[in-house]
Amino acid sequence: MSQKTAFITGITGQDGAYLSQLLLQKDYRVIGLAPRRSSSDLANWRLDWLGITDQVELLEGDLTDLASLIRIMTEHKPDEVYNLGAQSFVKASWQQPILTGTVTGIGAVNVLEAVRIVNPAIRCYQASTSEMYGLVQEPVQTETTPFYPRSPYAAAKLYAHWMTVNYRESFGMFTCSGVLFNHESPLRGIEFVTRKVTDAVARIHLGLADELRLGNIDAKRDWGHARDYVRAMWLMLQQDKADDYVVATGRTTTVREMAEIAFRHVDLNMERHLVIDPAFFRPAEVDILLGDPTKAKTTLGWSAETSLENMICEMVDADIARLKS
């Protein structure tokens, strides 16, 4: 069989880096969308960390520039497209709602349109999110739970989600939406709560800082490891039929308990260092998320392999190593 080509938007992000690594191991040719940034050396830090920067091809373009997507797909003829690019930070979406709608919402439709124009047989993955459940309508969220977005980010993702479903139903395209619950790793952006905690714990452990300022520590999330979750993305595109799947661990934990794991790992007492800071509360909160991954398990044969404890300890250790070097 000839080598497959995968085109990844958001290749420089957390999931893009792990997905690239997985697809390279499967002998794919991996190409990625590289939006113009002033410091291209910093943009590749995650691919560098995994040691795969030289094995992927970064192609200039932007999710908001339909022409660039059409040009890349025409020239490079991907078999699979993974749309992971987004303004992905919920809190920033209240400050930049129009940018979030344009990149995260319209950007996804630009990808779908480019595929429809260039080759509607290309298989597409859309990075949907548990944030779409927002004010949860059922205690455990499945593929049939009604959505109730609570942020401009979630509303933009919901639009992209329904457009993905719509292109499948309208044009018979192979478009899948993965409703992924929060997933983290040493490559997580530092503004997200897990990485903010593990970086702060590493700094306190090394004597470089003394406090950690957080917002709502009663919020609960279903946290998994990004390395496990990108496997589910790939599996979705290998099925006979396109469909949507919840990807989650089935366990929910408070921010407080997650932070306690990190502090305990280096024998620190969290109460001595934690400061609650109203600056980190949000205009509207998603209090609790808990996913049911039964469909992904039975249809894709997928399940989460990494426990929250192991993941948080891996992240603390990685942050300590990074700070030491």
Catalytic residues, which ones? 129, 131, 153
64 binds, among ligand NAP, ligand GDP, none (CB under 5 to 8 A by kind): ligand NAP
Which of 280, 294, 297, 313 touches ligand GDP by CB under 6 A? Answer: 280
Pair 90, 151: CB distance under 8 Å: yes
Q: Residue 16 binds what, of ligand GDP, ligand NAP, none (CB under 5 to 8 Å, by partner type)?
A: ligand NAP
From CA 107, how far away is CA 8, in angstroms rounded?
A: 13
Query: Which two structure tokens, joined as six digits, stand for 21?
Result: 């690594």
Which among 55-63, 162-170, 192-200, 225-233 is the span making contact with ligand GDP, rule CB under 6 A?
A: 192-200
Among 31, 84, 90, 247, binds ligand GDP (CB under 6 A): 90
84 binding ligand GDP? (CB under 6 A): no
Residue (35 or 215) nearer to ligand NAP, CB: 35
Contact yes or no for 198/236 (Cβ under 8 A)? no
Residue 294 binds ligand NAP (CB under 6 A): no
Q: What ranges in the chain are assigned the alpha helix state H?
A: 14-25, 40-43, 45-50, 66-76, 90-95, 97-100, 107-118, 152-171, 193-205, 226-236, 255-265, 294-295, 308-324
Size of the site for ligand NAP (CB under 6 A): 26
Amino acid at 281: F
Please compute, for residue 84, the number of CA atoms within 13 A of its CA located in the half-sphere on the CB side.
28
Query: Binding of ligand NAP at residue 216 (CB under 6 A)?
Result: no
Give contact residues for ligand NAP (rule: CB under 6 A): 9-10, 12-16, 33, 35, 37, 43, 62-64, 84-88, 103, 127, 129, 180, 182-183, 189
